[in-house]
Amino acid sequence: MNENEIGDIVIDCAIKMYRRLGPGLLDSVYESVLCYELQNRNLSIERQVAIPIVYDNKLGYLLNFGAPLMKDGITRIINGTLQ
Domain positions in the chain: 3-82
What would the pLDDT profile of 56-81 be if each residue is shown by its tens digit?
A: 667 788 888 888 898 899 988 877 66
Rounded CA gap, 51 and 77, in Å? Answer: 17
Cα–Cα distances (Å) from 70 to 21, 65, 67, 74, in that order, read 11, 7, 6, 7
User: How far from the centroid of its chain's Cα atoms is residue 58's Cα?
Assistant: 15
Whether pTM > 0.85 for this model: the answer is no
51, 73 contact by CB (below 8 A): no
Rounded CA gap, 43 and 3, in Å? Answer: 12
Percent of all residues in the chain with a pLDDT value above 90, rounded to a whole number? 47
